[in-house]
Structure 1
Amino acid sequence: MLIANPIYDVVFKYLMEDSKVAKLLLSAIIGQEILELDFLPQEISGELDLVRRTKEEFIPQLTVYRLDFSAKVQTEEGEQVIIIEIQKAKLLNDIMRFRKYLGKQYQNPDYFFIKKTQSGKEIKVGFPIVSIYFLGERLDKLQGIPIVMVNNEAIDLYSGKKIEHREDFVESLTHKSYIISIPDLSEKKRNELEVLLSIFDQSSIDASHHILNVSEEDFPEKYRAVIRRLQKAASEQVVRNKMQLEDDFLSELEDYERMIEEAKKEVEKATQKAEEERRQKEEERRQKEEIWQKMRQVIEKCHAKGMSVEETSELTGLSLEEVMTIFNSFK
């Protein structure tokens, strides 16, 4: 079966716009049953754009694809509303983009609700945030691990024991994260989640990189709606055109980054050359100073022996004016 490659932003967005499919995928990742799932009104989809630097020059700027959901999940304590934030990037250019966006999530007033404490006091509490990162490049220290869960825990510092009950204050200020390394998905398919996420496995791409060839039978029946949604995306001409636009942009970005690297190397060479010339001039100055000091010592001896300016000038090769200046400095 031929499916559209979900590593492309346009395909991933098409996939997640189907509520049934989005619930299947997100429930599998977070390991909780999602009862209801809604796009949040502040959904952000990063656009591929160019930033003007001068009148003649444009600089490519990569913006990370972002998507937010409000989800009602089933927990041991009952139903709970959480915020699911997804960020997806092909390149690990700048971790600050992830941090800035996460900071905005914590500040968003729509992500808070009023809750009564056991004493009856009303307090403002933040919805728990779950962040999911799809990465197109491997992380240096996590190679070979396709899915990493970073789970916030409350620990009794004295005993070292985990505190099992959940506290709103802690939930409002910490969050759980899932990091999915797309390049590592091809190596292991040990459980249903790794099988499901193999829709991102790039080992079966076609020459254009737009299409993946998968076998529907490899996926559990409950996840086949995901595969069929991607199959439908592959047949959409608008989707395929936008995939090509993403390719063109990334190609421009790579060219730009190469230009930056070459420019850096040229600057490095120029800096090294300038430093070498500076050192050479400094050495020449030091040598001249050394010669001059020796010459001064000779002139001082000539002066001490009562030799005239003319005799000293003839002996040293210095002009009468230079000798006279040095003689006068001895007075």
Structure 2
Amino acid sequence: MVRQCYDITTGDRLAGSEEFIESLTHDAFIIQIPALREEYKTELEQLLSLFDQRRVTSNDEHILEVDETAYLEKYQPLVRLLHRAISNEDIRDVMDVEDEILRDFENLERHIDRQEEIIERQGKALGEKDKSLGEKDKTIEEQGKALGEKDKTIGELRRQLQQLQARD
């Protein structure tokens, strides 16, 4: 199924396709937070701007600079909840552990990618060796046939020689 993607604020159809979106089995609204604009046109964009990664503080990637007064009153409880979360030492410790786990997964993925590349190269080398061995087997088989023909010819010549010697 070919999906059509639209910018919800302008209604413009977006060009190109995205593997993730194409793999969905249902219609959906996809919000790409990194693609949010500085000016927020809808309430949803304003709410999601709370998570805009362009606002990361320089000393801690877990903390975003958020001006509480820039948000509607109905979003204030969420803003306060997020502020409490970053001020809670236990939550910050959990975030640090999660970061460490993510780094470990990334390292593991890189290691797996390298191993897969090595396996692929070795597979190609083995394929080439198999091809070479197949060619050698074919050559040996052809040589065996040639030797068989030679033996047959020698046998025929001996028989003819014996017949000639028997006449004399």
- TM exceeding 0.5: yes
In the alignment, which residue of structure 2 is the partner of 1:243?
A: 95
User: Shift in Å at residue 192 of structure 1?
Assistant: 0.5
User: Shift in Å at residue 140 of structure 1?
Assistant: 3.4
Partner AA of 2:95 in structure 1: M
User: Shift in Å at residue 239 of structure 1?
Assistant: 1.7
Match of 1:284 among 136, 141, 145: 136
In the alignment, which residue of structure 1 is the partner of 2:86?
A: 234
Higher relative contact order (CA 8 A, sep 6+): 1
> Is 1:196 the counterpart of 2:47 in the alignment?
yes
Runs of 5+ unmatched residues, structure 2:
1-17, 161-168
Alignment of 1:88-103 (within 5 A): none
Match of 2:158, SS?
coil
Match of 1:209, SS?
coil
**1:48-68 deviation digits (Å, cap 9, x = unpaired):** xxxxxxxxxxxxxxxxxxxxx
Match of 1:213, SS?
coil
> Is 1:183 the counterpart of 2:62 in the alignment?
no
> Is 1:140 the counterpart of 2:19 in the alignment?
yes
Match of 1:255 among 107, 113, 120: 107
Q: Name the CA shift for 1:186/1:244 in 2 (closer, same or farther; >3 Å).
A: farther
- Which is further off, 208-217 or 246-255? 208-217
User: Shift in Å at residue 187 of structure 1?
Assistant: 7.1
Alignment of 1:80-229 (within 5 A): 140=19, 142=21, 179-185=30-36, 189-207=40-58, 208-229=60-81
Alignment of 1:63-82 (within 5 A): none
Q: Name the CA shift for 1:298/1:188 in 2 (closer, same or farther; >3 Å).
A: farther
Larger Rg: 2
Match of 1:211, SS?
coil
Match of 2:64, SS?
strand
Instruction: Give the Cα separation in 2 of the matches to 1:188 and 1:274.
Output: 58
Contact kept? 1:186, 1:203, Cα under 8 Å: no
Q: TM-score, normalised by structure 2?
A: 0.68
User: Shift in Å at residue 227 of structure 1?
Assistant: 1.6
User: Shift in Å at residue 212 of structure 1?
Assistant: 0.5
Indicate the percent of aligned positions where both proteins have the same amino acid.
30
Q: Name the CA shift for 1:307/1:215 in 2 (closer, same or farther; >3 Å).
A: farther
Q: Name the CA shift for 1:223/1:243 in 2 (closer, same or farther; >3 Å).
A: same
Runs of 5+ unmatched residues, structure 1:
1-138, 144-149, 152-176, 309-331
Instruction: Give the Cα separation in 1 of the matches to 2:153 and 2:64.
Output: 91
In the alignment, which residue of structure 1 is the partner of 2:157?
A: 305
> Is 1:293 the counterpart of 2:145 in the alignment?
yes
Partner AA of 1:193 in structure 2: L
In the alignment, which residue of structure 1 is the partner of 2:5?
A: none
> After the TM superposition, which parts of structure 1 deviate over 3 Å for at least 4 consecutive aligned residues?
139-143, 177-188
Contact kept? 1:186, 1:202, Cα under 8 Å: no
Q: TM-score, normalised by structure 1?
A: 0.37
Instruction: Give the Cα separation in 1 of the matches to 2:103 and 2:53.
Output: 18
Instruction: Give the Cα separation in 1 of the matches to 2:83 and 2:89.
Output: 12
The structure in which a higher percent of residues are helix is 2
Contact kept? 1:195, 1:219, Cα under 8 Å: yes
User: Shift in Å at residue 254 of structure 1?
Assistant: 0.9
